[in-house]
Amino acid sequence: MIYISEEESAALVTDELAFEAAREALIAAASPQSRIFPAVLGRTREPTNTFSIKSGSADHLTGVKIGSFWKDNPARGLPRHNSTIVLLDPHTGRLGAVIEAGKVNAYRTAAADAVAADSLARKGAKVLAMFGAGNQAGFEVTALARIRPIATVLIVAQPSVLRDAFVEHIRERGLEARAVSAEEAVRAADIVVTATPSREPLFQADWVGPGTHVASMGSDAPGKHELPDELFQKARLFCDLLSQSVQIGEFQHVRDEIDAGVLAVTPIGDVIDKRAPGRRFDDEITVFDSSGISLQDLYMADALISAKAANR
């Protein structure tokens, strides 16, 4: 049995590793040979302590990811978000690997958005509107700046020491960064990313200009809602996994329209694998719902195991 600790996985993971693993996972998710099962959402006696279990299988990989959010962990000197990936031996069902992957999960989530943006965002996209200034936001900026010439990051978050520190962190990396209103950010953006726990839309649909790419990654449970539903009527829609997106992702709010065929949603894996078109025109608006799928975790685990073996 292979074990990789949090410290070891954090040292092994890179943006390049995460991007390739996420890309393979999203292609696999669109394949009929893969299996992804409904996410199980739970909580402890303390309602703010939540966890999710996501499972699936593809190629030679079978397993689960357990993600947790413990609100009061910072007071204990621990991160709020944690993640553990368990791989099963596909031949015997016995335990194959256990990987602590808290930091890896942030790379994996950002990488999925970057993979989608590589097919959907305009090649010359320079202005990124980032909703949220928490742990995930920095990873999103890094991942997107690898695949597009991002020069300016417009940050939308409540005034706080955390927000101001995030603005300064982005500036230290050589990018222009400032905190602005939601309307200013969206109207100026080439790419909009929402990384919040919001339960109501963060901006108005008519603020989104032609050619903008929008990605929601905060909607990963029933009731979460970051994007205005009106936006979907004038955009081309993409997702990581439709069956999950309409249950816990952003498209849960327009499930009836999707079921009725009024709105069409394309799995991003079909775009990556050239079975469906990505961006077709410069003025096209695209939306990607990144609900976060188990195969991303399994492929990340496999890539980390290979990286560990290569470092021996």
pLDDT in tens, 219-250: 888 899 999 999 999 999 999 999 999 999 99
176-226 confidence digits (pLDDT tens): 999 999 999 999 999 999 999 999 999 999 999 999 999 999 888 889 999
Looking at the chain, the whole-number percentage of residues with pLDDT higher than 70 is: 100
Whether residues 155 and 119 fall in one domain? yes
CA angle 117, 138, 136 (to 5 degrees): 85
**CATH label of the domain that carries residue 216:** 3.40.50.720
Q: Which of 104, 145, 120 is nearest to 215 (CA)?
A: 120
What is d(CA 166, CA 164) in angstroms, rounded to the nearest whole number? 5
Residue 80 pLDDT > 90, yes or no? no
Whether residues 95 and 128 fall in one domain? no
Whether residues 258 and 144 fall in one domain? yes
Whether residues 135 and 231 fall in one domain? yes
Residue 312 pLDDT > 80, yes or no? no
CB burial string 154-181: b at 16+ within 10 A, e below:
bbbbeeeeebeebbeebeeeeeebebee
Give the residue-averaged pLDDT of 282-292.
Answer: 96
The bridge status of strand 213-216 relative to strand 265-267 is: unpaired
Residue 59's pLDDT is what?
Answer: 86
Count up the domains in the chain and report the number.
2
- Supply the pTM of this predicted model: 0.94
End-to-end, the C-alpha distance of the chain in Å comes to 17
Whether residues 63 and 127 fall in one domain? no
Domain that holds residue 68: 2-104+295-310
Q: Which of 205, 26, 29 is nearest to 120 (CA)?
A: 26
Within 10 angstroms of residue 45's Cβ, the number of other Cβ atoms is: 5
Whether residues 204 and 279 fall in one domain? yes
Residue 55's pLDDT is what?
Answer: 97
Give the residue-averaged pLDDT of 65-79.
Answer: 91
Looking at the chain, the whole-number percentage of residues with pLDDT higher than 90 is: 90
Mean pLDDT of the chain: 95
Whether residues 288 and 301 fall in one domain? no
Q: Are 212 and 205 in contact (CB under 8 A)?
A: no
Whether residues 60 and 79 fall in one domain? yes
Whether residues 98 and 125 fall in one domain? no
Give the residue-averaged pLDDT of 118-145.
Answer: 96
Whether residues 202 and 147 fall in one domain? yes
The bridge status of strand 81-88 relative to strand 61-70 is: antiparallel
Whether residues 174 and 76 fall in one domain? no
134-155 confidence digits (pLDDT tens): 889 999 999 999 999 999 999 9
**CATH label of the domain that carries residue 100:** 3.30.1780.10
What is d(CA 20, CA 30) in angstroms, rounded to the nearest whole number? 16
User: What is the 3-class SS of the chain, one letter each residue?
Assistant: CEEECHHHHHHHCCHHHHHHHHHHHHHHHCCCCCEECCCEEEECCCCCEEEEEEEEEECCEEEEEEEEEECCHHHHCCCCEEEEEEEECCCCCCEEEEEECHHHHHHHHHHHHHHHHHHHCCCCCCEEEEECCCHHHHHHHHHHHHHCCCCEEEEECCCCHHHHHHHHHHHHCCCEEEECCHHHHHHHCCEEEECCCCECCCCCHHHCCCCCEEEECCCCCCCCECCCHHHHHHCEEEECCHHHHHHHCHHHHHHHHHHCCCCCEEEHHHHHCCCCCCCCCCCCCEEEECCCCHHHHHHHHHHHHHHHHHCC
Annotated catalytic residue, options 65, 123, 234, 274: 65
What is the total residue count of the chain?
312
Residues in Cβ contact with 102 at an 8 Å cutoff, skipping those fewer than 6 apart: 6, 10, 79, 81, 82, 83
Active site residue 65: yes
Which tokens is 131 given? 């909703």
Whether residues 165 and 260 fall in one domain? yes
Residue 92 pLDDT > 90, yes or no? yes
